[in-house]
Amino acid sequence: MNKFLAGLLIIVMHYALSIFLPWWTIVFLSFIIVALFKLEGKSSWLIPSMSIMLSWLIQILILDQKTNFRSSQRIADLFDAPGFVSYIVPIITVGLVAGLSGYLAHLFFSKNEEVGIVEEEERMTIDEYKDNTPGLEDRGII
């Protein structure tokens, strides 16, 4: 749920911010969201990366279909390239930028020294922990 919310927030906030601010505000947005939601491991780069890529893909598709997908080819004509390049180049780059920024946030705020290598730890409530960890009473912890 946390991850979903983080992704949604990135999409909504970046869309709103990009009305007034340049596209590269995604660097800060991704960093802040990952830090706030304490996304770790793969999620730290995958969530911002995937959400912004999805957001841009949808936006571009909506714009392109208005001209029966002629616009992507006209944009690509600028570089003498096939039309799909107009999609791939911005989407991949913005995904990389957002992902790197999220991962950087994770590096900054993670307490684990081996950041980026360890798998994300399983989260559980204290009762679940008790149930799943036999012998706690024997040790006098509880």
Write phi, then psi, for 54 (nearest 5 degrees): -65, -45
Least distance CB 114 / another protein (angstroms): 8
Look-up of token digits 């979903």 = 4
Q: Which is nearer to another protein, 8 or 110 (CB)?
A: 110
Do residues 76 and 83 lie in contact, with contact meaning Cβ atoms separated by under 8 Å? yes
Exposed/middle/buried for 63, CB within 10 Å: 0-12, 13-18, 19+? exposed
Least distance CB 22 / another protein (angstroms): 7
Do residues 73 and 103 lie in contact, with contact meaning Cβ atoms separated by under 8 Å? no
Q: Which is nearer to another protein, 87 or 130 (CB)?
A: 87
Instruction: Output the six-digit token pair for 121.
Output: 């730890």
Least distance CB 123 / another protein (angstroms): 23
Q: Which is nearer to another protein, 1 or 19 (CB)?
A: 19
Least distance CB 12 / another protein (angstroms): 14
Distance between alpha carbon 59 and the CA centroid of its chain, in Å?
A: 17
Q: Which is nearer to another protein, 68 or 125 (CB)?
A: 68
Q: Which is nearer to another protein, 46 or 130 (CB)?
A: 46
DSSP output for 105-118: HHHHH---TTTTTS
Q: What does the binding site for another protein look like in residue numbers (CB under 8 A)?
A: 15, 18-19, 22-24, 27, 56, 59-60, 63-64, 66-67, 70-71, 74-80, 86, 89-90, 93-94, 96-97, 100-101, 103-104, 107-108, 113, 115-116
